[in-house]
Structure 1
Amino acid sequence: MKKIIALAAIAALSTVAQADGFYAGGDVGNARWKDDGATFKDTSFAVFGGYNFSDNVAVELGYRNLGKDTVRVLNVPVTVKANALQVSAVLSAPVSTDFAVFGRLGVNRIEVKNSFAGGNGKDNETKALIGFGARYAISKEFGLRAEFQKPASNIRVLSIGADYRF
């Protein structure tokens, strides 16, 4: 049993030693969310950082601004502003030496602030995060990516961005 544990530890360490390592980046796109029959939409942007354990597995942390929008509900203007802190596992599948597709599964903490005539409100929710996208490597360090994310069942984000691998 000790030999199996030792071999597993050596295999795990060798995978980490061969990994691409840390990366950081950002993206910009369009966020749309629905709440109580109203549809809010605005420009979204994110900053993120992660660590590639291998060519196929990474963990990523990020902050996403979901934008701010004002709509009329029952003839009353309601302004909503939202953002999310995210952590996810990113699984990649290379299609060629420069192009890969990826999927994301994680969790995010979404903060929604709203204001309307007669009051303000704030709500925090922890929701599952799913997404998929593609990355094109311009060089070994620099890449472009496009992604679709669902930070919650009523929110969707379409974005384009770039990352830099250290």
Structure 2
Amino acid sequence: MTLHKKLIAGIGFSLLCMHAAYAQNSSGVYVGVGVGSSSVSSHAVDSDNDPSLNVDVGYRFNQNFSAEIFARSLSFRLFDDLAGDSSYYPDSHVGVAVLGTIPLGNDFSLYGRLGVGRTEMKSGRKSKKDYNETDPSLGLGVRYALSPAWSINLEATRFTKTKVNTYLLGVQYDF
């Protein structure tokens, strides 16, 4: 084998080892943001495809398990007081969650979310007070690693008591 071929083989082997080390060394703090839509499947609330925004901060213990704090906007209903809507509608959710991840290859992974938090319920009338609901959440998502630090994800989450579904496209940065 010539020196040129040995050098190319050595570089290729080094890159392969670096990628394997990246897959194994996947612990640490991460932050993420997302944008998407939310909808309520309750008979008392008429809300389809409201814009939804997400921010999260988490810690990945290993490639299969992480925990995070997250906040999501669920509705941008601004003028309900004028229309006299008598229903409550979910406005935002702040919670904590654990995520379990299954790698599907070098860059793709599937993850599930189990969480609990407070959903702020806004009143459609000034005569009714707003209230908060403790709300369990379940979610499923897929993530694609663009680099060791950056990834994109697509996620669907259900807030069970308030019957809200969110669909988000997000980016995540691992420190």
Q: Please indicate the TM-score interval, normalised by the length of the shorter structure.
A: 0.7 to 0.9
User: What's the secondary structure of 1:160's corresponding residue?
Assistant: strand
What residue in structure 2 maps to residue 69 of structure 1? 77
Gaps of 5+ in 1: 1-17
> Normalized against structure 1, the TM-score is what?
0.79
Q: What pairs up with 1:154-165 in 2 under 5 angstroms? A: 154-165=163-174
TM-score (normalised: structure 2): 0.76
CA distance in 2 between partners of 1:30 and 1:39 (Å): 14
Alpha-carbon shift at residue 56 of structure 1 (Å): 0.2
Deviates more, 1:37-46 or 1:79-88: 79-88
Residue identity matched to 2:153: R
Q: Which moved more, 1:148-157 or 1:35-44?
A: 35-44
Distance, in Å, in 1 between the alignment partners of 2:45 and 2:89 is 11
Residues 14-69 of structure 1 show CA distances to partners (whole Å, capped at 9, x for unaligned) of xxxx5520000111111111445332131010110100000000001011111123
Give 2:4's aligned residue. Answer: none
Rg larger in structure:
2
Which amino acid in 1 is paired with 2:76?
K
The answer for the alignment partner of 2:112 in structure 1 is 103
RMSD: 2.3
Task: Indicate the SS of the match to 1:39.
Answer: coil
* Uncovered stretches (5+) of structure 2, i.e. residues with no partner: 1-24
Q: Which has the higher strand share?
A: 1
- Among 18, 26, 33, the residue aligned to 1:26: 33
- Structure with the higher helix share, 1 or 2: 2
Percent identical residues: 27
Q: Name 2:92's counterpart in structure 1.
A: 83
2:164 is matched by which residue type in structure 1?
I
